Amino acid sequence: MDVREIRQQIPVCQRMVYLNTGWSGPSPVSVVDAIKRRLDVEMIGGPASPDVAESGREVRTTARQAVAGLLNASPDEVCLTKNTTDGLNMVMNGLSWQPGDEIVSCDLEHSSVLVPSYFKQLRNGAALKVVHLESNEPRENILAKLEDALTERTRLVFLSHIEYSSGLRQPVEEIRRITRDRGIMMLLDGAQTAGHIRLDMKQIDCDFYSIPGQKWLLGSEGVGALYIRREMIPQVEPIAVSGGAVLPHDLPDQFEPNTDTMDKFNVSSSSAALQAGLEEAIRFIQNVGVDVIEQRNLDLASSLKGALADIPGVSVLSPMERDISSGLVSFSIDGVDPAEVVSYLWAEHRIAARRVAYPPGVRASLHFFNTEEEVEKLAAAVRQRAERP
Ligand SMILES: Cc1ncc(COP(=O)(O)O)c(C=O)c1O
């Protein structure tokens, strides 16, 4: 990988130390060009002229194929969404719930996991069980704690594949092994994974997986995707419905629900420009290579964790073991509010990071375009702040 060359293609890299990909990744020029090109086609050719409308349908099809390729899934198991949370809500609200059905999750989770689960409790009488995990909980403990939480009434295990708070990578294949035989469904939030680690729906064998375009894929906001394992598609009802939710027909009295295909989730119009951007983002990431990216991100994260661990008064909150680590690194400085550290890094060093609420800390996202020099710069800035009286 030629990092210098890649950085030339991502304008943000020339302006700051960008360590906030876990919130929103900086797009390369080619992604924004793909979006602009499509907008130009619509502006000049007429958005619903026959040719442009047809090419818009093609964009939708090829973007869906690109997502399927990224996930090692079939295109008919994938639909385009607005973002990760949109896909998660489609599943949570589309499944039918009985009072007493249990949802198992954990306390490192993002609100996009916990809040939809809470609303199932509030509106449908489901019970949300939140398992306590340390931010660097060892793999065997995770499995033991989750297994302990499962009962005859557990219907769903709902977790992030990579936890946004500490970057802990959940052992999803092993978790699947303990849920599969009990007939428990598995919904994974892939907000922090797509474009970051290799994703293989066949290997993970989960039922549902939701991803965004705007984070590690470096696409734009406003477009993401949802995977549903083929056999599970009929179990998820579309909540927002329009033409795709009924089978082809001539007259309204011939309406019949479309239950078996992902087309039932297509609600009217969507932005072909953003979908073209997503497709280009996937191409950009795949050209670099997801496996190469995964290892490089782990190397950068490991350097940062090593450097931070050497600073008196600084605690690394992320796991140290490589197999449960990712490119997300969280840390805290004794006695200093994480929000203040984030402001300091930006104001004095032009380093963009973010605060995480639980456990309270500062989170740096290390993606392949970041460099060892940037890691050193962050560690030096943190040391400077930790030593300040
Ligand atoms: C684990 C997790 N889930 C969901 C989200 C929300 O993502 P989106 O804006 O794509 O819905 C985030 C964003 O930070 C996240 O980290």
Examine the fold and report which residue of 236, 271, 286 is the final residue of a domain before the chain moves on: 286
* Ligand 1 center from residue 31 Cα (angstroms): 21
Domain assignment present for residue 3? The answer is no
pLDDT of residue 46: 98
* Ligand 1 center from residue 312 Cα (angstroms): 32
Domain assignment present for residue 333? The answer is yes
Structural domains counted in the chain: 2
Whole-number mean pLDDT of the chain? 97
Q: Evaluate if residue 1 carries a pLDDT over 90.
A: no
Residue 282 sits in the same domain as residue 368? no
Mean pLDDT of 63-74: 98
* Ligand 1 center from residue 311 Cα (angstroms): 31
State which ligand 1 atom lies nearest to the alpha carbon of 162.
1
Strands 208-212 and 185-189: parallel
From atom 7 of ligand 1, which residue's Cα is the shortest distance away?
84
From atom 2 of ligand 1, which residue's Cα is the shortest distance away?
191
Mean pLDDT of 328-351: 98
Residue 298 sits in the same domain as residue 190? no
pLDDT of residue 270: 95
Residue 238 CB neighbour total at 10 angstroms: 21
> For residue range 125-144, what is the model confidence (pLDDT) as tens digits?
999 999 999 999 999 999 99
Examine the fold and report which residue of 271, 286, 301 is the final residue of a domain before the chain moves on: 286
Check: CB of residue 219 under 8 Å from CB of residue 27. yes
CATH, residue 300: 3.90.1150.10
**Is the omega angle on the peptide bond into residue 359 within 30 degrees of 0, that is, cis?**
yes
> For residue range 90-115, what is the model confidence (pLDDT) as tens digits?
999 999 999 999 999 999 999 999 99
pLDDT of residue 196: 98
Mean pLDDT of 20-32: 98
Residue 93 sits in the same domain as residue 59? yes
Residue 239 sits in the same domain as residue 367? no
* Ligand 1 center from residue 199 Cα (angstroms): 17
The sign one gets for the Cα dihedral 286, 261, 89, 166 is negative
Mean pLDDT of 235-261: 96
* Ligand 1 center from residue 61 Cα (angstroms): 25
* Ligand 1 center from residue 191 Cα (angstroms): 5
pLDDT of residue 2: 94
pLDDT of residue 389: 84
For a mutational test of ligand 1's pocket, the pick from 24, 107, 112, i.e. the residue with the most ligand atoms closer than 8 A to its C-beta, is 112
**Residue 272's pLDDT band (boundaries 50, 70, 90)?**
very high
Which residues sit opposite 154 in a β-bridge?
102
Residue 271 sits in the same domain as residue 294? no
Residue 244 sits in the same domain as residue 321? no
Alpha helices in 228-324 (DSSP H): 272-288, 290-309
Residue 305 sits in the same domain as residue 358? yes
For a mutational test of ligand 1's pocket, the pick from 20, 21, 24, 84, i.e. the residue with the most ligand atoms closer than 8 A to its C-beta, is 84
State which ligand 1 atom lies nearest to the alpha carbon of 23.
14
Residues in contact with ligand 1 by the CB-under-6-Å rule are 23, 83-85, 110, 112, 160, 164, 189, 191-192, 212, 224
> For residue range 204-235, what is the model confidence (pLDDT) as tens digits?
999 999 999 999 999 999 999 999 999 999 99
Element containing residue 71 per DSSP (H, E): helix 50-71
Q: What is the CA radius of gyration of the chain?
A: 22
CA dihedral 348, 218, 84, 338 (to 10 degrees): -10
* Ligand 1 center from residue 215 Cα (angstroms): 9
